[in-house]
Chains A and B, each alone.
Chain A
């Protein structure tokens, strides 16, 4: 697949995502992520049929006519997306790598948030915090972030999830929605995730690939881990290797699910061979039903 230049990719993604958001996600997003409650808005004349419980007795007695309080839902949520930009995400078996899937998901979520007048921020991390964009409103703000998620060149190769979560917890004052887009190939983030999930609505989205489940049937190849630079020589036709590989990543996935459940974070898995919008919609449906 020929990779276009970044601006056109962002534009295309934006167009496609906006359509999806307008037709599907804006409402879904709105109903799934509720604000903390109702907030007093104004008083108006009481009309027949209004709930008597909402009559504002102070104003009514002062004005000698019944007045009713009106409320509006406290909205203006904050969406902070933690995007893993470590080297391990530049892998994908079918032309699309995990980083691109992350960009797709980010665009959908961010545009849905913008449509609901929420604030969107992003935190790009590797083994350090690469970039922190403070949550703000506005479509332009979001577009810039989409282009960054897609095209940011990370300065470091590793992935330190714990650090990213700690930073997010420190920078978010109000209860927010925290979405984590990562392959979760990082260790020691469990307690940080629990801390973060105590205050915020945390959704862990694990980006996966068919190659994570099964070692490709290759001949003799030399492999190199992009994060650590370690290498090993593998023979993909070796049964022992394939078996151990599959078992290891199956274990890894299960322990991730377990960690998220313990921490109280919601989980979603999106593979590079899946359509991010479908996965996201399935997730919204499940969450609404729950």
Chain B
């Protein structure tokens, strides 16, 4: 952001109209050589139109620009950067996202559940500040995609990279929760949260979800679980990223609502069911609203002066004008 140390100098601009008037309009200011060249009542000598006129106008404009630059330099311009510094630690959130093929079901327009979920996560991230957010995805196994970080840009890149089915065709909710718990265990944040998004039953992995929830509870981690998907048959479309074949069909997904609810209850979190994109959005807003802590923030202001270039440009312009007019054209006075 550009600001000025001593904007008082800009008052010099008020003199510009006066100076311009004195220089170009005021007839009796003097400095002009009296030289009769007209004939009274007649025509008189008409100076021929030459390139001189444009040179003079050009140098006048340069001179004005030069003075503007110098005045601006006088006003002490500096670029200030404001940086928010969080004095208190925010909360740690790990989003545990289901990456199983059933997330490809097309009951969440415009594309499918998975893309809608990703969209919502991105929006959720954008609405947070000062919190560390991580990402764990799971299919047949669970993987930490991104440890809790405040670098949201990096996190977004990780989210963009995700593809359905690259962790197998199963749904290992327990593993996902366990990996998330593992990475939150050492955190010193006042609040630790796991945001679980899934659309199916736990059907793989060495760790059962209940077990994982107890582990999480031990670490004072709360789990917010969100069940995605509408009931009944829904069309599904899967694209194999390796050979580009498209598999279409219908799928009936059911998630164990009781289980998800109990996961949340055990850890003191919450459970929501989202059967449409709108509902999912509402859920995220609810989580967003629930998980906010009072933060102490200060703004660190750093500024660096930028008058140097202005001085150089301004002096250069004025010098060029003098060079042209005094030396090349031999202007007097």
Q: Is A50 an interface residue (CB 8 A)?
A: no
Known contacts A127-B40, A232-B47, A240-B48: does B34 contact A220 (CB below 8 Å)? no
Task: Type the 1/0 row for B305-333, where 1 means its CB is closer than 8 Å to any CB of A.
Answer: 00000000000000000000100011110
What distance in Å separates the Cβ of B171 from its nearest Cβ neighbour in chain A? 86
| Interface SS, B side | loop
Q: Is B27 an interface residue (CB 8 A)?
A: yes
Known contacts A220-B56, A222-B33: does B45 contact A158 (CB below 8 Å)? no
Contact B48 A231 (CB under 8 A): no
Q: Is A159 an interface residue (CB 8 A)?
A: yes
B44: chain A residues at CB < 8 Å are 185, 225, 228
Q: How far is the CA of A158 from the CA of B42 in the complex (A)?
A: 11
Contact A238 B50 (CB under 8 A): yes
Stretch at the interface among A9-17, A62-70, A113-121, A245-253: A245-253
Q: How far is the CA of A284 from the CA of B35 in the complex (A)?
A: 32
Contact A224 B39 (CB under 8 A): no
- Determine which of A90, A234, A249 lies in contact with B34 in the assembled complex, contact meaning CB atoms within 8 Å: A90
Across the two chains, which residue of chain B brings its CB closest to A230? B38
B41: chain A residues at CB < 8 Å are 158, 160, 162, 186-188
Most A Cβ at <10 Å: residue of B27, B35, B36, B41? B36
Q: Is A2 an interface residue (CB 8 A)?
A: no
Q: Is A23 an interface residue (CB 8 A)?
A: no
Task: Type the 1/0 row for A163-203, where 1 means its CB is closer than 8 Å to any CB of B.
Answer: 00000000000000000000101111000000000000000
Q: How far is the CA of A241 from the CA of B44 in the complex (A)?
A: 14
Q: Is A264 an interface residue (CB 8 A)?
A: no
Contact A91 B325 (CB under 8 A): no
Task: Type the 1/0 row for B31-69, where 1 means its CB is closer than 8 Å to any CB of A.
Answer: 111111111111111111010110010000000000000
Residues of A whose CB lies within 8 Å of any CB of B are: 86-88, 90-91, 127, 158-160, 162, 183, 185-188, 211, 218-235, 237-238, 240-241, 244-245, 248-249, 252
Residues of B whose CB lies within 8 Å of any CB of A are: 27, 31-48, 50, 52-53, 56, 325, 329-332
